[in-house]
Structure 1
Amino acid sequence: MKYTYKTKMVCSQEISFDINGDVITNIAFVGGCNGNLKAISKVLDGWTVEQIEAKLKGNTCGVRPTSCADQLCIAVRKAYEEQKNS
């Protein structure tokens, strides 16, 4: 299933990815720190929701209470829960 999430309080505006069960693939960010977010997307490809959360949940950016990586954690959890409940 393809999922798109509108981010909050970060430079990237949107995150999209595919979710199959709890496995996340094809992560793409719109906006943000292009090189860093491309690298994160490549490294995390094929990881589970739980693995992504274990490494990145709560990560902040500067004085912001969140980051693009933290927003990805929120997005993958939301997608997983919606998929599970449908």
Structure 2
Amino acid sequence: MEYTTKGTCSRKILFEVEDGKVHNVQFVGGCNGNTQGVARLVEGMDVNEAISRMKGIDCNGRGTSCPDQLAKALEQAIQK
């Protein structure tokens, strides 16, 4: 899946959800080390657990962050 981010340095998030698990997360843009870390931490994680852990994380008062945007992307993916 592909999700276009809003309000973050990263422009896009690519990912897969298979059997309720998060896989192959890739951020386009953003803080490379941080986004790689987030991607590795959620690999294989239950999608609902990933959403609950990341939803609402704020980056410097922006009202969102790369992890929060990933949570929103995952929410969209499981609603389809």
Bucket of the pairwise TM-score, normalised by the shorter protein = over 0.9
Does structure 1 conserve the Cα–Cα contact (< 8 Å) formed by 2:17 and 2:47? no
Identity %: 38
The residue aligned with 1:61 is 59
TM-score by length of 1: 0.89
- From 17, 22, 25, give the equivalent of 1:24: 22
Counterpart-to-counterpart distance in 2, 1:58 and 1:18: 21
Q: Is residue 2:45 matched to residue 1:47?
A: yes
How far did 1:19 drift? 1.1
Q: Secondary structure in 1 aligned to 2:49? A: helix
Q: Which amino acid letter does the alignment assign opposite residue 59 of structure 1?
A: I
The residue aligned with 1:5 is 3
How far did 1:57 drift? 0.6
How far did 1:65 drift? 0.4
Aligned length: 80
Unaligned segments of structure 2, at least 5 residues: none
Q: Secondary structure in 1 aligned to 2:50? A: helix
How far did 1:48 drift? 1.5
TM-score by length of 2: 0.95
Which contiguous aligned blocks of 4+ residues in structure 1 show a shift greater than 4 angstroms?
none
Unaligned segments of structure 1, at least 5 residues: none
Note the aligned Cα RMSD (angstroms).
Answer: 0.8
